Amino acid sequence: MNGVHDMGGMDGMGPIDARPEAALFHAPWEARVLALTLAAGAQGRWTLDESRFHRESLPATDYLPMPYYGRWFAALTDLLVKQGLISAQELSSGRADPAAPRATPVNAKAMVARLNLGGPAHRPQVRPPRFAVGDKVRARHLNPPGHTRLPRYARGHVGVIARLHGVHVLPDSNAHGRGEDPQPLYQVRFDACELWGDRAQAPSLVHLDLWEPYLEPV
Amino acid sequence: MPHDHDHPHDHTHEGGGGQTLPSDMALRVKALESLLVEKGLVDPAALDAIIETYERRIGPRNGARVVARAWTDPAYLERLRADATSAIAELGYGGRGGEHMVAVENGPGVHNLVVCTLCSCYPWPVLGLPPAWYKSNAYRARAVSDPRGVLAEFGVSLTATTEVRVWDSTSEVRYLVIPERPAGTGGWSEDDLAALVSRDSMVGTALIPEPRSRGRGA
């Protein structure tokens, strides 16, 4: 989707607050939101891609000024209701419906084991990749209404394949319950002048990781 | 759009936290946590374990060990170049947010800078959770189009001929910058070298000053 989350290259976002910060969380609720998101995600009712899509689907006027973990909280409540893990009634009342079934949570030990294990996104190769290192490619001018990891600033531009990452789950499919549809993933190198024209700062390069369906030969 | 109910608002600026709004978000998050515990969707001990993991066990000291090893052990550096995920796992680091790692090296005339323009992808097992500035709209917007301007805001100025290589983390591949080893550290132990390596230097928004010039306020 052409959402406000896709902000690479935008002007007008103001200065960066580059001060070093000691604490990871500004308030205790932020840490709880992180933990709630990971723990509820361990129920296995949605994928990481689906979770990202819900964050970027927040209304743009809400998304921009929201604190980071505020976005996580909003997307988490959206997902919980959408997946039927809680009802809108329960969310507003704060009380569980006594008639609703009770789930089994992932305990602390299993949760830490999951964090340590991670969830690799690579999959076995089923066909040879279409492109090789050194090939010139164009990022296709795709404008899907759903989730994609092809930023607008790269669309239509020509780069060079710099590295093959193997075959990875395609977020565009996996975010929408259409399966993993694993595709070759490439590191693509773009010259800054190709992306930013006369505002580019040579010498500089921008690299993106792009799936095969995002690319066409030049 | 999955959006179908009210979202939290925060009167502090984006990425900044919520520390001046004690009640609203804290109460909403607490209410959701109580509901999810009551429904058996999350275990409070698992929430504590997640927070404990990222506040105490996983952070930039891990990445600093990787950098120090790469500086002192040429065979390790070769393994890091060939397969960073495995080389990092040799030191015991891996898991969620670090399933697919790539190390990028600074050197004479080359400086690397990592961003995630679409959300806030970051190599958790080696750097911990991302700092506020990394998640800010301003950094996400400008790191790809104005990397030298961004670096200047962090107090980093590069020579005009230095090539800036920006890495936009659009896939599950995560990038770790290996900063240049500062002069004047010949013969230093791996522990002493690791102590020099800052978090920001491994994202690319800081350089590591020569030890004897530290404290002069660069």
Q: Is B120 designated active site?
A: yes
Sequence-ordered strand ranges (E) for chain A = 122-123, 136-139, 158-168, 183-191, 204-211, 215-217
CB contact under 8 A, B98 and A118: yes
pLDDT of residue A23: 73
Domain that holds residue A89: 28-117
CB of B80 within 8 A of CB of B66? yes
Q: Does pLDDT of B15 surpass 50? A: no
Among candidate residues B119, B145, B157, B213, the one labeled active-site is B119
Phi, psi of B178 (to 5 degrees): -100, 105
Its ipTM equals: 0.97
Contacts of B94 in chain A (CB under 8 A): 116, 118
Residue A85 belongs to a domain with what CATH number?
1.10.472.20
What is the per-residue pLDDT across B83-130, written as a single tens digit (0 to 9) for each?
999 999 999 999 999 999 999 999 999 999 999 999 999 999 999 999
Closest CA to B135 of A112, A195, A67, A98: A67
- Whether A64 and chain B come into contact, CB under 8 Å, resolves to yes
Phi, psi of A137 (to 5 degrees): -135, 155
- Asked whether residue A107 falls in the same domain as residue A159, the answer is no
* Of A91, A117, A143, the domain-final residue: A117
- Asked whether residue A65 falls in the same domain as residue A132, the answer is no
C-alpha span between A111 and A99 (Å, rounded): 28
What is the per-residue pLDDT across A146-199, written as a single tens digit (0 to 9) for each?
999 999 999 999 999 999 999 999 999 999 999 999 999 999 999 999 999 999
Collapsing DSSP to helix, strand or coil, A191 comes out as: strand
Q: Is B136 designated active site?
A: no
Question: With bands split at pLDDT 50, 70 and 90, how would you rate the model's confidence at B163?
Answer: very high
CB contact under 8 A, B147 and A6: no
C-alpha span between B118 and B143 (Å, rounded): 12
C-alpha span between A112 and A193 (Å, rounded): 45
Q: Is B213 designated active site?
A: no
* Of A72, A91, A117, the domain-final residue: A117
Collapsing DSSP to helix, strand or coil, B135 comes out as: helix
- Residue A199 is encoded by which pair of tokens? 């505002």
CB contact under 8 A, A149 and B10: no
Q: Is B201 designated active site?
A: no
∠ Cα B156 B183 B193 (to 5°): 90
Determine the number of helices (DSSP H) and then strands (DSSP E) in chain A: 8, 6
Residues B127, A23, B140, A198, Cα dihedral to 10°: -90
**pLDDT, average across residues B25-47:** 97
Collapsing DSSP to helix, strand or coil, B34 comes out as: helix
Percentage of the residues of chain B whose pLDDT score is greater than 90: 85
**pLDDT, average across residues B147-176:** 96
**Neighbour tally for B158: CB within 10 Å:** 16
- Asked whether residue A209 falls in the same domain as residue A154, the answer is yes
Residues A72, B99, A41, A29, Cα dihedral to 10°: -40
- Whether A30 and chain B come into contact, CB under 8 Å, resolves to yes
Nearest CB partner across the interface for A102, out of B40, B138, B155: B40
- Asked whether residue A136 falls in the same domain as residue A211, the answer is yes
Question: With bands split at pLDDT 50, 70 and 90, how would you rate the model's confidence at B218?
Answer: very low
pLDDT of residue A114: 97
Is residue A130 in a domain?
A: yes
Is residue A169 in a domain?
A: yes
C-alpha span between A72 and A75 (Å, rounded): 5
What residues of chain B, 67 to 86, have a C-beta less than 8 Å from chain A? none
Is residue A112 in a domain?
A: yes
Nearest CA in chain A to B15: A67
Q: Does pLDDT of B75 surpass 80? A: yes
Q: Does pLDDT of B13 surpass 60? A: no
Is residue A142 in a domain?
A: yes
- Asked whether residue A104 falls in the same domain as residue A176, the answer is no
- Which has more confidence, B15 or A115? A115
CB contact under 8 A, B1 and A57: yes
pLDDT of residue B7: 52
**pLDDT, average across residues B2-11:** 46
Is residue A23 in a domain?
A: no
pLDDT of residue B152: 95
C-alpha span between A189 and A195 (Å, rounded): 11
pLDDT of residue A18: 87
- β-pair partners for B165: A205, B112
- Whether B97 and chain A come into contact, CB under 8 Å, resolves to yes
Closest CA to B52 of B128, B134, B126: B128
Nearest CA in chain A to B22: A27
Q: What is the pTM of this model?
A: 0.93
Question: With bands split at pLDDT 50, 70 and 90, how would you rate the model's confidence at B11?
Answer: very low
Å between B74 CA and nearest CA of chain A: 22
Nearest CA in chain A to B156: A18
Is residue A14 in a domain?
A: no
Collapsing DSSP to helix, strand or coil, B145 comes out as: coil
- Asked whether residue A133 falls in the same domain as residue A103, the answer is no
What is the per-residue pLDDT across B194-211, written as a single tens digit (0 to 9) for each?
999 999 999 999 999 999
CB contact under 8 A, B4 and A149: no
Residue-level length of chain B: 218
Q: Does pLDDT of B14 surpass 60? A: no
CB contact under 8 A, A209 and B173: yes
Nearest CB partner across the interface for A205, out of B50, B115, B163: B163
Percentage of the residues of chain B whose pLDDT score is greater than 70: 87
Nearest CB partner across the interface for B19, out of A27, A31, A82: A27
Contacts of A74 in chain B (CB under 8 A): 7-8
Nearest CB partner across the interface for B168, out of A58, A103, A207: A207
Is residue A22 in a domain?
A: no
Is residue A15 in a domain?
A: no
Q: Does pLDDT of A106 surpass 70? A: yes
Sequence-separated (6 or more) residues with CB below 8 Å from residue B132: A17, A21, A26, A68, B15, B16, B17
Q: How far from A25 is each of A111, B18, B132, CA to CA, in Å?
A: 21, 10, 9
pLDDT of residue A204: 95
What is the per-residue pLDDT across B166-184, written as a single tens digit (0 to 9) for each?
999 999 999 999 999 999 9
- Ordered DSSP codes for A158-189: EEEEEEEEEEE--HHHHTTTS----EEEEEEE
* Of A90, A117, A144, the domain-final residue: A117
- Asked whether residue A80 falls in the same domain as residue A145, the answer is no
- Asked whether residue A203 falls in the same domain as residue A126, the answer is yes
Q: What is the mean pLDDT of chain A?
A: 95
**What phi-psi label fits residue A166: left (phi over 0), alpha (psi between -120 and 50 degrees) or beta?**
left
Q: Alpha helix locations (H) across chain B? A: 24-38, 44-52, 60-72, 74-82, 84-90, 124-127, 132-135, 137-142, 147-153, 190-196
Q: What is the mean pLDDT of chain B?
A: 90
pLDDT of residue B179: 98
Phi, psi of B166 (to 5 degrees): -95, 140
- Asked whether residue A127 falls in the same domain as residue A211, the answer is yes
Phi, psi of A169 (to 5 degrees): -55, 135
- Asked whether residue A94 falls in the same domain as residue A72, the answer is yes
Q: How many domains does chain A have?
A: 2
Closest CA to B35 of A109, A105, A51: A105
